Amino acid sequence: MQRITLLLLLGSLGGCIGRGDGWVIGKLWLDNCKDGEPLGEGYDKQSDFDLHADFFSGEPIEDSNKSVSQRSNRLTIRIQNTSNNLEVSDGLLIQVVDLDLAARSFADSQPMQISTSDLCPGGDCSLVEDDLRASLYLYATCPDGRQPLTGSSYSVSPSAQDATCLLSSGTQTSACPTLSATQRQALEQLCESDFNDRGSYDAIGQLLGTSGACMFFCSLGEARRGQDPSELAGFRMSYGDRIAAIISTNIVDGRAINLQGCAAAAGELRGMFDFQLARGRSAQSFP
């Protein structure tokens, strides 16, 4: 009886969380990946990368502020190659810090910029928006590479004094283009396509830029295209809601940018994902 109860419990848990469609691929270089060996031959000879996304998770976080206009609801998205704990997996972590802004971007059919105040050389973060963050972790593939791999519009290039030292060039600029009607239509067509088709990689780069950092929402809970912004104040996501998006971002060595030192990582990622937010069930007994 105990074995039957356990099997029923496992069956009830299967499929509750983690199911979805999508892919994340790109090119990466990490100076120290595994056993002292790099991933890729250099920042200009990066290795092809495929996350082999097989686990999709989203956790809505609701702000308890009584004032709707001052609420800042959030959503944390995790796309991994397995359902294992983050510390032993490869994955892409996306944090929607401002769901109101995300909903307005979706309503306007415009992409949302990825940036983070964690990246601010010299300590001046006053001009950095922090509404959408993305970070890559490769704890399975590159257990030795523990530098923060951050989504950003920064890029790296060899130092004029030392070609072996890669420094971040410029500052975080506007990472997303303002889309024309034709570009919006093309992205909407991608939103209606097969989310497991990696053949969209080049088209995503052409539409969202090849050296920026942004995400275009295909579906965002109950938000609607063309919706009045006043209706989106205090926007929130709930379990059962669908989220689908297209992403394109540079990957940079966050520690090197903050310390203005030599970078040990660089790359780019593009991808698509589509899933429903699902709550993992707690253990329950059966008669």
* Beta bridge mates, 100: none
Return the ∠ at Cα 146 (arms to 210 and 256), rounded to 5°: 60
Query: pLDDT, tens digit, for every residue of 124-162?
Result: 555 556 789 999 999 999 999 878 899 988 877 788 788
Distance (Å, whole) CA 186 – CA 16: 33
Query: pLDDT, tens digit, for every residue of 166-177?
Result: 887 655 555 788
* Distant-in-sequence, close-in-space partners of 284: CB < 8 Å, separation ≥ 6: 9, 12
Question: What angle in degrees, to the nearest 10, is found between the helix axes of 181-191 and 201-208?
Answer: 150
pTM for the model stands at 0.87
* Distant-in-sequence, close-in-space partners of 21: CB < 8 Å, separation ≥ 6: 56, 194, 195, 196, 272, 273, 274, 275
Distance (Å, whole) CA 19 – CA 52: 14
- Mean pLDDT computed over 8-20: 54
Note whether 229 and 107 are within 8 A (CB).
yes
Distance (Å, whole) CA 21 – CA 16: 15
* Distant-in-sequence, close-in-space partners of 35: CB < 8 Å, separation ≥ 6: 144
- Mean pLDDT computed over 34-61: 92
CA 90 to chain centre: 13
Residue labelled with tokens 């303002």? 178
Distance (Å, whole) CA 132 – CA 116: 7
Distance (Å, whole) CA 79 – CA 35: 26
Query: pLDDT, tens digit, for every residue of 241-260?
Result: 999 999 999 998 888 877 77
Note whether 138 and 30 are within 8 A (CB).
yes
Query: pLDDT, tens digit, for every residue of 179-200?
Result: 999 999 999 999 999 999 999 9
Q: Please report, for residues 20, 58, 244, 257, 259, the alpha-carbon distance to residue 61 in angstroms, rounded to integers and kept in the order given.
A: 20, 10, 18, 29, 31
